[in-house]
A and B are shown apart, each in its own frame.
Chain A
Amino acid sequence: MIETMNSEGRRRDPLSFPSLFSIALMSLLVLSIPANAQEYRSGWDIIDSGTSEDLYSVESQGSEIWAFGENGIMIMSFDGGQTWELGESLTSSDLTISSSGYGSFLTASNDGTILVKSTNDSMWSDITFDFGNELIHGACLTGVSEFVIVGGNGTIWTYEMQEWTNRSVSGLDLLDVSFLDSERGIAVGEQGTILFSDDGGETWDYRDAPTEASSSRITDVEFFSEIRAYAITDEGGVIKSSREINTAVGFLWNMQYFESEGNSNNLGENLTSIEIATTNKFLLSGKEGYLSMSKDGGNIVTRQTIPLDNSTSFNDIAMIDSFNGVAVGSNGSLLLTERSGEDEQIGFEVMDFSEFGNFVDYSKGMLIDGLYATVNIVMFGIFLGFFLGVSLSMMKTSPTTLKEISQKRSLTVVRIAGVIFTVIGTSLLSHLVPIIRNLGLDGWEYIYAPIGIINPDGITGDLQFENFLFLILGVSLLLLGILLVSANGEYKKSHFNIRGRDIIWNPWGVRPLNFIATIYTDIFRNTPLIVQFLFIHFGVQIGALIGDPGAEMLEDSSNFVLSFLRDDILSNRACVSAIFALGLNSGAYQCETIRGAISAIPSGQMEAGRSIGLNYMQTMRLVIMPQAIRICIPPMGNEMVNLVLNSSLAMVIGYSELTRKAKLINAVTFQVFWSYGMVLISYFIVTWTLALFLRYLENKTRIPGLGISGGN
């Protein structure tokens, strides 16, 4: 035993795979350097209110708008808020409460001063009432001159037909009330009090506030529609109620968690009012110059810039319609918006893509999406292709011929099988004859018959694969049957002498598995990949055939891998089609590569395996394949890199992989060189990573003592 043991150690590449992979990832991160910020302009315009008193509330009816404030000040606009004039002062109390609807305006102060006016009437009527020692906090019109008042210690009064009725409940202070129509209303108050009435305020039922808001002061409520009501708390929270399957709005209340605030339920602002523009769009006002809006029901609440400094306290907002609105605040501040108060992005349309930083900033997200999409189809395509390649190459190298199969059985059995096959084959074909005849083909046009019988009814018809299957089975069984019937027990090849040439006819030498695999590889290697993409996606619609039932099957899975399969792969039809097109095509090529490697294994290896009693499949699996796969890692690397590069053809079926993303980027930016150049780099990262992985694999699986080692 003179040989040294150290020659058996597996060699390692000096540049190991992990370190190279991290370099590749770093190059990717270069693509995501943060970009310069955008500029914004406030969506609010300053309007001269003609007063410097604090304005507490604002109401609109059509283009008539009234704002009420300190010391009984009342201002009005009849042109949608553009110009304002001072109204006649009717009281010296602070008008903190207001309501509008049914063509009427109402304003009130804490001490019980109540003024009501109809739009047709220019005069305010004074309906001041003595509520004892209780302060009032909210009011809401339920008709032209009917309304509900709420206040301290559960005070509720209704005013109908010029009659006051006490509807008070025993309880805490009520702070606001809002009615959807003359019947249904919500009143809110301290410590999470929510009351609901469906008879115009005569009787009230308690509703549960969300637990997170059960001790908050609910200061403002808006009963917006049949499907939505919102309210705010003094802690800066928003609660909302929606119509559920079994309950109406106002029954169940949920705390809104703000995605934009890290899923907190608190905006951290001193809110004064909420105004609803549409079911999911609302505006919030607050102290210290706070105006914000949400367009998605409160998931994302964005503070908007204002044209005033932050010392202004905003007290109320009134929306004239879903875009135009008025906000009022301290010292006579009055703002008007035509875009729900949303900031305007300045210079978006003229973004300069000729600056590389801007261009990269715009395109990096799309490129990374495209890269992810490409990696998805490539990964699954490689798996499918390799599986097919191994199976097909084993089928192609399988040595069993018809002769060997037949020789194992007695001649009678062979002939009976021949008769059965002939009968089945004939009946299948005779079943197909009328179908093929109905296609209306003539002469050489019959070469297109296979496509015709799969889809005889054109665009409206379903695909009928069974006819195609019957055709293949029928032809093969008929030929096989005739061959078996004609067997004489010798299974010899026949020689024909045609003009002095020896023509050999040897149907017994046909290897069935090899035959099937050969047809498969011939079809996929002799048609263009781009046509295969189009045919598989739009023609066969594998995406719909396999993706849809697959996604349905995994509908309820919460497992990470399965839900990834469902959401990212199976529910994207183009993705499924692309995987199949790439995998089926690559399988045909990989089959030939692996077959070459199998041929390179000395025949003695098979003999040695068989001589110790392993059967054919065991020897293939345990002896031949492990050695063949090692041999074919370099050419398989070629195939896999080809597969990655071919994946760019998936753009023809509308799959948003890298190349398609480059086209889209190019369409916006017109930067041709940069768009395609960046895609080039991204592809290089993917293929290079793959190549490094294969190099690593090759080293890792090297068989010690085999292969050329020329030393240094």
Chain B
Amino acid sequence: MSNVLTIVDMHKTYAGGVHAVRGVSFDVNQGESVAIIGSSGSGKSTVLRCINRLIEPTEGEVRLRGNLINTPSADINDVRSRIGMVFQSFELFSHLRVIDNITLGLRHVRKMGKKEAEAEALEVLEKVDMLDRKDAFPGNLSGGQKQRVAIARALAMKPEVMLFDEPTSALDPELIGSVLKTIRGLADEGMTMIVVTHEIGFARDVADRVIYMDKGVIAESGKSSIIDNPKTDRLKRFLSSISEED
């Protein structure tokens, strides 16, 4: 198995002096799905955003297929188009119809023609089961539908790795299912992905590997079975606090 993504000793200190990430290192292999879990403020989202440099890491290396991407000389727009990202709050372009949301990147980054891009867009919309709403505006979609369109938008760029930043946190419980089903479908197809999530059940069922982060460091990581048999006290406390909530 080849490494798609390599993160070596990543640090991030915010402008206010908050040291959010303190030396995180891990690899992601081809076709692997990695779940990052942890309590709020543990640095999970910061790690994810540092990977496609929406946040510049203060120190450390991020490599995509062996090439260092957090240097000034890397073509950041090309790198980002190869890494799909799905946001907690969807971030659909509200002034564009669903189909135009998806073709925007294809037309202006991949430089496809209008027809070609629309054909591509219809394909990914079918994959996320949103074909019948292709002409709707995002404002008229439900949360689950929006998130599936957001996934389709990232998928359309044919990324080498997908980053999910708490994709279900902003959704009502009854809408979560359709989004998780879509992500699970992608994992089954062999899409390489990193999912930051609070859905412990989902992490256990779908992820090949689980990383537990606490206070900016990786406290425990391993096969998804660690959720059932946590080795460290910190993970145990975290899991029990979550089950209490349920």
Q: Which residues of A contact B89 (CB under 8 A)?
A: 602, 604
Q: Nearest B residue to A616 by beta-carbon distance?
A: B77
B153 contacts chain A at the CB level, 8 A cutoff: yes
Interface residues of A (CB under 8 A from B): 1, 3, 5, 7-8, 407-409, 602, 604-605, 607-615, 618, 622-623, 626-627, 630, 703-706
The answer for the CA separation of A253 and B154 in the assembled complex, in Å, is 80
Partner of A703, one of B72, B84, B95, B133: B95
Q: Nearest A residue to B163 by beta-carbon distance?
A: A611
Partner of A613, one of B80, B140, B141, B142: B80
Q: Which residues of B contact A409 (CB under 8 A)?
A: 72
Contact with A along B109-142 (1 / 0, CB 8 A): 1000000000000000000000011001111111
Q: Which residues of B contact A614 (CB under 8 A)?
A: 77, 104-105, 108-109
Q: Assess whether A607 is in contact with B104, with CB atoms less than 8 Å apart.
A: no
In the assembled complex, the CB of B34 is this many whole angstroms from the nearest CB of chain A, namely 18
B192 contacts chain A at the CB level, 8 A cutoff: no
Q: Assess whether B133 is in contact with A1, with CB atoms less than 8 Å apart.
A: yes
Q: Assess whether B91 is in contact with A604, with CB atoms less than 8 Å apart.
A: yes
Q: Assess whether A622 is in contact with B80, with CB atoms less than 8 Å apart.
A: no
Q: Which residues of A contact B93 (CB under 8 A)?
A: 605, 608-609, 622-623, 627
The answer for the CA separation of A641 and B150 in the assembled complex, in Å, is 40
Interface SS of B by simple majority = mixed
B94 contacts chain A at the CB level, 8 A cutoff: yes
Interface hub of B95, B104, B105, B142 (most chain A Cβ within 10 A): B95
Q: Nearest A residue to B85 by beta-carbon distance?
A: A611
Q: Assess whether B105 is in contact with A627, with CB atoms less than 8 Å apart.
A: no
Q: Which residues of A contact B72 (CB under 8 A)?
A: 407-409
Q: Which residues of B contact A604 (CB under 8 A)?
A: 87, 89, 91
Given the interface pairs A612-B153, A613-B80, the reply to whether A622 lies near B108 with Cβ below 8 Å is yes
The answer for the CA separation of A461 and B137 in the assembled complex, in Å, is 61
Q: Nearest A residue to B88 by beta-carbon distance?
A: A604
B54 contacts chain A at the CB level, 8 A cutoff: yes
The answer for the CA separation of A98 and B207 in the assembled complex, in Å, is 122
The answer for the CA separation of A618 and B106 in the assembled complex, in Å, is 13
Given the interface pairs A605-B91, A706-B139, the reply to whether A610 lies near B54 with Cβ below 8 Å is yes
Q: Which residues of A contact B83 (CB under 8 A)?
A: 611
Q: Assess whether A612 is in contact with B80, with CB atoms less than 8 Å apart.
A: yes
Q: Assess whether A612 is in contact with B109, with CB atoms less than 8 Å apart.
A: yes
Q: Nearest B residue to A10 by beta-carbon distance?
A: B137
B52 contacts chain A at the CB level, 8 A cutoff: yes
The answer for the CA separation of A409 and B78 in the assembled complex, in Å, is 20
B81 contacts chain A at the CB level, 8 A cutoff: yes
The answer for the CA separation of A7 and B136 in the assembled complex, in Å, is 10
Q: Assess whether B80 is in contact with A703, with CB atoms less than 8 Å apart.
A: no
The answer for the CA separation of A409 and B72 in the assembled complex, in Å, is 8
B157 contacts chain A at the CB level, 8 A cutoff: yes
Q: Which residues of B contact A602 (CB under 8 A)?
A: 89, 91
Extra A-B contacts (8), CB below 8 Å, given A610-B77, A611-B80, A614-B104? A5-B136, A604-B91, A605-B93, A608-B91, A612-B85, A614-B77, A627-B94, A706-B94
Q: Assess whether B153 is in contact with A626, with CB atoms less than 8 Å apart.
A: no
Interface hub of B72, B78, B104 (most chain A Cβ within 10 A): B104
Q: Nearest A residue to B140 by beta-carbon distance?
A: A705
Q: Assess whether A705 is in contact with B105, with CB atoms less than 8 Å apart.
A: no
Q: Assess whether A612 is in contact with B95, with CB atoms less than 8 Å apart.
A: no
The answer for the CA separation of A623 and B96 in the assembled complex, in Å, is 9
In the assembled complex, the CB of A641 is this many whole angstroms from the nearest CB of chain B, namely 25
Q: Assess whether B108 is in contact with A705, with CB atoms less than 8 Å apart.
A: no
In the assembled complex, the CB of B78 is this many whole angstroms from the nearest CB of chain A, namely 7
The answer for the CA separation of A487 and B29 in the assembled complex, in Å, is 41
Q: Assess whether B109 is in contact with A8, with CB atoms less than 8 Å apart.
A: no
For residues 41 through 98 of chain B, which have their beta carbon under 8 Å from a beta carbon of chain A?
A: 52, 54, 72, 77-78, 80-85, 87, 89, 91-95
Given the interface pairs A611-B52, A613-B78, the reply to whether A618 lies near B108 with Cβ below 8 Å is yes
